């Protein structure tokens, strides 16, 4: 969220986490996230199940959906997420969070560290490519960063340690 009108966005970790929870609920994949002055545009692919038809149509068809989330929507998502997590133990909640809630949270943490003025990123085959507009001593510059699927999975696994929590034990260990 923004501290005041026109300021850089604050706390991408929580903002993107809340958007990620929405994406998990929708079953979206191959996402694109564009920051706007008053929120985010989020686009992704979803599978719409076919109600009737031949056996090949039962798998459904892939559609592209686009959502515009204003800062008020994001604030509501964040409040809902906090309420959901406060009712459960955090380590259990992290283990039950969907992929996008976890992945976008760790991407958001990276973005917070960079302190950008503007963000744009997309996912392709599980990898995230970010374009961040950062202020430097010589003016504004775009920066590109990429996280492979494996790097995202590693960051997700390490996330509880960054927060000073113990990681959830893996099955069979």
**167 in a domain, yes or no?**
no
Q: Quick one: pLDDT at residue 102?
A: 94
**153 in a domain, yes or no?**
yes
**166 has pLDDT over 90:** no
- Mean pLDDT for the chain? 83
pLDDT tier, 172 (very low <50, low <70, confident <90, very high otherwise): very low
Closest CA relative to residue 105, chosen from 117, 97, 116: 97
Task: Answer whether 106's CB lies under 8 Å from 159's CB.
Answer: yes
Q: State whether the Cα torsion 130-105-82-21 is positive or negative.
A: positive
**37 in a domain, yes or no?**
yes
Q: Quick one: pLDDT at residue 154?
A: 95
Q: Quick one: pLDDT at residue 54?
A: 60
pLDDT tier, 42 (very low <50, low <70, confident <90, very high otherwise): very high
**23 in a domain, yes or no?**
yes
pLDDT tens, position by position, 48-98 = 876 665 655 556 789 999 999 998 998 888 888 777 766 655 545 445 789
Total tally of structural domains belonging to the chain:
1
Exposure string over 133-150, b if 16+ CB within 10 A, otherwise e? beeeeeeeeeeeeebeee
Residue-range definition of the domain harbouring residue 78: 12-162
**50 CB contacts (<8 Å, ≥6 apart)?**
57, 58, 59, 60, 61
**105 in a domain, yes or no?**
yes
Q: Quick one: pLDDT at residue 61?
A: 86
**3 has pLDDT over 70:** no
Closest CA relative to residue 118, chosen from 30, 2, 28: 2
Percent of the chain with pLDDT over 70: 76
**92 in a domain, yes or no?**
yes
pLDDT tens, position by position, 119-147 = 999 999 999 999 999 988 899 999 999 99
């Amino acid at each position: 969220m923004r501290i005041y009108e026109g300021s850089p966005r604050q706390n991408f970790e929580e903002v993107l986490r809340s958007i990620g929870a929405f994406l998990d609920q929708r079953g979206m994949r191959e996402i694109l996230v564009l920051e706007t002055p008053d929120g985010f545009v989020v686009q992704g692919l979803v599978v719409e199940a076919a109600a009737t038809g031949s056996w090949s149509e039962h798998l459904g068809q892939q559609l592209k959906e686009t959502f515009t989330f204003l800062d008020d929507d994001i604030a509501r998502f964040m409040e809902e997420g906090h309420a959901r997590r406060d009712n459960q133990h955090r380590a259990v909640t992290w283990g039950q969070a969907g992929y996008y809630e976890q992945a976008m949270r760790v991407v958001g943490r990276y973005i917070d560290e960079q302190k950008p003025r503007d963000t744009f990123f997309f996912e392709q085959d599980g990898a995230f490519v970010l374009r961040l507009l950062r202020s430097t001593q010589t003016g504004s510059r775009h920066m590109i960063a990429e996280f492979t699927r494996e790097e995202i999975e590693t960051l997700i696994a390490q996330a509880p340690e960054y927060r000073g929590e113990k990681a959830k034990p893996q099955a069979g260990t």
